[in-house]
Structure 1
């Protein structure tokens, strides 16, 4: 068995998409450098004023056409002058005042002798803060409820009773702990 290994010389060629990407990066870089160096024409063109004489405009057009025919040296970028922004409008600070009125009960006077009857004023009811969760009560209630629920039923019913005991015991433990701590506050 005579096997000959033929070595073929494959030329390593660059893929066309890679070449296109490289060319586009180079072109974008050159355009960026030209823009920063001021070699690109600006978009701010000088237009003839509206009151210009048509003969002057024609003369300027003829002069620019003859200037385009002659070779011109590279344009020199004119220095860019900082544009002065208009001053911002003055800031006006307004004071906002919120007026509140307190309702007062009108005193009741007796027409005979000017006796003033006492007015019962209700004390404002203080809003109680919502009860905070008491983790000790929740934990203790959940453990006790889980142990009690574990003794009920059998099989899947025993598991459900245990879960129900844990949830119910946690809620009950939280409520009991809130009642115990309420007078201390």
Structure 2
């Protein structure tokens, strides 16, 4: 493995520490990938910088709620299946399915007095999140190849002009 860095003090930064830090960075990279791909964060609804910032913060809040629901769901599993702390987990929750369950779980969780059938629905939702897990895939060791006759981009993406060009 090759990793280029400007942290050259070997006494302060060991090789294993740098690789550990690099491994932790992938969580952030995956979060940005989710923002771009799953939430289409590059196609903003707002046109001013304040609205764009508000939209990004709202999406980050949704991702935080997803993480909290995932942690709550994992607490229902036996300790051997959970993984621990920053250790890599053998399985991860399906974030897309988790995001679909969030509005229902929040609606149930915000009620002051929860009827028995809604409390049971909440427990079923958390159990479904915990059960809907898949093994983490190993990184691809070969380049991705598109074999479609239409090419990689079948759908024309709608690109809007930046808001500052409209004002000119």
User: Shorter-chain TM-score: which interval?
Assistant: under 0.3
Structure with the largest fraction of helix: 2
TM-score, normalising length: structure 1: 0.20
TM-score, normalising length: structure 2: 0.22
Structure with larger RCO (C-alpha < 8 A, sep 6+): 2
Larger Rg: 1
